[in-house]
Amino acid sequence: MLFHVRMNVNLPPSMPQEEAAQLKKTEKELAQRLQSEGKWRHLWRIAGQYANVSIFDVESVDELHALLTSLPLFPYMQIEVMPLCRHPSSIRNNDR
């Protein structure tokens, strides 16, 4: 199942720099592992915003929820999820 996910990151200005840097480091490690496993298919920065759009390929809504809530930055993100299905005009036969 494919999902379009938008994440807006809002770190509190009062958070110490070292704590923010550690959160970003662990977030990056997990994001790169999930990309290499094929679960996090795309990760794009939204230009000019501390936000991203991503495509996730997971087995279920429950798996997506578990994955998103496991992200180190989860407590500091506003997340919007859009389930995706095939478009009848798509020429990409390998997409689900």
Ligand X SMILES: O=C(O)CC1=CCC(=O)O1
Contact positions toward ligand X, by CB under 6 A?
7, 9, 27-28, 31, 52, 73
Which of 9/84 has CB closer to ligand X? 9
Instruction: Give least dist CB 57 to ligand X, A.
Output: 16
Residues 76 and 9: beta-carbon distance below 8 Å: yes
Q: What is the DSSP letter of 88?
A: T
Which of 44/86 has CB closer to ligand X? 44
Instruction: Give least dist CB 80 to ligand X, A.
Output: 13
Residues 44 and 95: beta-carbon distance below 8 Å: no
Which of 26/86 has CB closer to ligand X? 26
Residues 57 and 1: beta-carbon distance below 8 Å: yes
